[in-house]
């Protein structure tokens, strides 16, 4: 039963930690814009045509498997 | 209809409103967290008078002392930070010599908190920390819903006709709440004195319960939530013609009146029960939350009914299109 004298102060510390975490979450914007994550999947760029800046990349990727096949 | 979380801070608010909303959310959440803890720590106090061995009782008493000190340590930030709007409102209302909602609230908190601190310090007597924390947490819940309703009103374009109607309704509601609170404060003082002369030990509990009940939170919410519901349903169907608009305004007035007089009847019913000492302070706080939720629910019904009507009108077009 004497464990209670230790557990009670620990519970107080936990409450303070949880309160501080909740405080941080609100003021760092964790509760703002909750539907943005759901919407972002719809705003994804699904186009298959290679963009000019990406052109070198597919070529290098194609060369890799061919190299693997040789071995 | 969009599913909106009332805990999310809408993007469309101005930055001052957003900060206000965040602060109120922090106050609300912290108050509930503290309330849950303090309610648990209050439990041993309720079983202390049950039959048990002397060894058990002395152990329980030492545990109660620690728990009271922890409750005190948790209640101080709740009163300081979470109940900050109450103190602000109290000072403002006292300066203007007006009796508003914050006066009985502030008095109730002080009346319950100060004797509890004394009981904790002297290690004897009842503590009311659980009642204080419940009161503040429930009050903040009602205020937060009211803030959400008001801010939702600010976001949408307000309809001129409903706005006119709103000012008429709120003036009447304010006047009723003012007289109601003033009378109840006087009554509380008289009943408190009577109790103090006959049974001093219970006087604090009775006065706190009466002050908690005299807080017209549900009345303060009565008009804003209805009006917000009317705006929301107009936003849902912007092409409402004149006759429908008239019907909506009538329904709004009806719901507002229901809210106002319903919460008033509730107060009148609870007041004598508290005066004779049948209502514990925590029970008073709970009834306050329930009446506020009932008001919010009644307004929500108006919005639902309108939304259903709108769907019924629009559904054929959806099917063909």
d(CA B122, CA B120): 6
d(CA B292, CA B271): 16
Q: Classify the phi-psi angles of B300: left when phi > 0, otherwise alpha if psi is within -120 to 50, otherwise beta.
A: alpha
Mutate: best of B3, B66, B71, B151, partner A, most A CBs <10 A: B66
Chain A residue numbers with beta carbons less than 8 Å from the beta carbon of B63 are: 4, 8
Residue A32 bridge partners (DSSP): B9
pLDDT at B87: 92
pLDDT at A10: 92
Confidence of residue B319 (pLDDT cuts 50, 70, 90): very low
Does B156 have pLDDT greater than 60?
no
Which of the pair, B77 or B244, is modelled with greater confidence?
B77
Beta-carbon contacts below 8 Å between A and B: 49
> Which of B9, B30, B33 faces A31 most closely, judged by CB atoms?
B9
Four-point Cα dihedral B130, B135, B138, B141, nearest 10:
-120
Chain B residue numbers with beta carbons less than 8 Å from the beta carbon of A15 are: 33-34, 37, 74
**pLDDT tens string B63-92:** 899 999 999 999 999 999 999 998 998 898
Chain A residue numbers with beta carbons less than 8 Å from the beta carbon of B151 are: none
**pLDDT tens string B249-269:** 777 777 777 777 777 787 778
Confidence of residue B157 (pLDDT cuts 50, 70, 90): low
Does A57 have pLDDT greater than 60?
no
Q: Does A10 touch chain B (CB under 8 A)?
A: no
Most confident of A26-30, B5-9, B172-176, B315-319: A26-30
Does B221 have pLDDT greater than 90?
no
Task: Please state the pTM of the whole predicted model.
Answer: 0.74
Are B9 and A32 in contact (CB < 8 Å)? yes
Chain B residue numbers with beta carbons less than 8 Å from the beta carbon of A35 are: 8
DSSP labels for B174-233? HHHHHHHHHHHHHHHHHHHHHHHHH-HHHHHHHHHHHHHHT--HHHHHHHHHHHHHHHHH
pLDDT at A2: 80
Please tell me the distance in Å from A55's CA to the nearest CA on chain B.
38
**pLDDT tens string B47-64:** 888 888 888 888 888 889
Four-point Cα dihedral B83, B84, B85, B90, nearest 10:
90
Please tell me the distance in Å from B70's CA to the nearest CA on chain A.
7
Whether the ipTM is more than 0.85: the answer is no
3-state secondary structure B22-65: HHHHHHHHHHHHHHHHHHHHHHHHHHCCCCCCHHHHHHHHHHHH
The CA distances from residue B305 to A15, A49, A60, B65, B244, in Å, are 42, 49, 61, 53, 13
> Which of B22, B63, B70 faces A27 most closely, judged by CB atoms?
B22
Q: Does A28 touch chain B (CB under 8 A)?
A: no
> Which of A8, A12, A26 faces B25 most closely, judged by CB atoms?
A26
d(CA B39, CA A56): 65
Confidence of residue B248 (pLDDT cuts 50, 70, 90): confident
**Cβ distance B275 to B125 under 8 Å?**
no
Nearest to B255 by CA among B301, B318, B207: B301
**pLDDT, chain B, mean:** 79
d(CA B39, CA B276): 25
**Cβ distance B208 to B128 under 8 Å?**
yes
d(CA B142, CA B265): 18
Confidence of residue A71 (pLDDT cuts 50, 70, 90): very low
3-state secondary structure chain A: CCCHHHHHHHHHHHHHHHHHHHHHHHHCCCCECCCHHHHHCCCCCCCCCCCHHHCHHHHHHHHHHHHHHHC
Altogether, the residues listed in chain A come to a count of 71
d(CA B25, CA B33): 12
**pLDDT tens string B124-148:** 878 889 888 988 888 888 788 778 8
**Cβ distance B115 to B204 under 8 Å?**
yes
């Amino acid at each position: 039963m004497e464990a209670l004298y230790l557990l009670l102060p620990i519970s107080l510390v936990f409450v303070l930690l949880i309160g501080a975490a909740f405080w941080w979450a609100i003021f760092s914007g964790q509760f703002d814009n909750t539907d943005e994550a759901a919407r972002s999947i719809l705003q994804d760029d699904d186009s298959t045509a290679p963009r000019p800046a990406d052109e070198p990349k597919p070529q290098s990727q194609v060369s890799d498997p061919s190299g693997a096949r040789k071995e | 209809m969009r599913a909106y979380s009332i805990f999310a801070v809408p993007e469309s608010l101005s930055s001052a409103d957003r900060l206000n909303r965040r602060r109120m959310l922090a106050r609300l959440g912290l108050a509930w967290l503290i309330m849950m803890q303090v309610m648990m720590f209050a439990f041993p106090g309720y079983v202390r008078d049950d039959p048990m061995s002397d060894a058990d009782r002395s152990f329980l008493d030492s545990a109660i002392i620690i728990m009271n000190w922890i409750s005190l340590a948790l209640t101080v930030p709740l009163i300081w930070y979470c109940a900050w709007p109450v103190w602000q409102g109290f000072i403002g209302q006292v300066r203007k010599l007006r009796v508003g909602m914050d006066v009985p609230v502030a008095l109730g908190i002080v009346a319950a908190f100060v004797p509890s601190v004394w009981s904790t310090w002297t290690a004897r007597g009842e503590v009311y920390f659980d009642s204080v924390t419940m009161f503040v947490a429930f009050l903040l819940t009602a205020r937060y819903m009211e803030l959400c309703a008001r801010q939702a009103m600010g976001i949408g374009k307000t309809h001129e006709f409903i706005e006119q109607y709103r000012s008429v309704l709120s003036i009447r509601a304010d006047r009723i709440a003012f007289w109601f609170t003033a009378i109840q404060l006087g009554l509380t003082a008289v009943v408190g004195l009577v109790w103090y002369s006959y049974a001093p030990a219970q006087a604090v509990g009775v006065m706190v319960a009466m002050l908690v009940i005299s807080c017209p939170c549900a009345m303060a919410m009565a008009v804003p939530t209805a009006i917000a519901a009317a705006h929301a349903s107009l936003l849902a169907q912007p092409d409402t013609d004149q006759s429908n608009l008239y019907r909506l305004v009538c329904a709004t007035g009806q719901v507002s009146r229901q809210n106002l007089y319903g919460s008033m009847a509730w107060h009148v019913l609870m007041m004598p029960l508290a005066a004779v000492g049948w209502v514990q302070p925590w029970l008073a706080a709970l009834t306050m939350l329930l009446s506020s939720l009932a008001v919010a629910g009644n307004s929500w019904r108006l919005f639902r009914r309108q939304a259903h009507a709108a769907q019924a009108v629009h559904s054929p077009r959806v099917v063909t299109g």
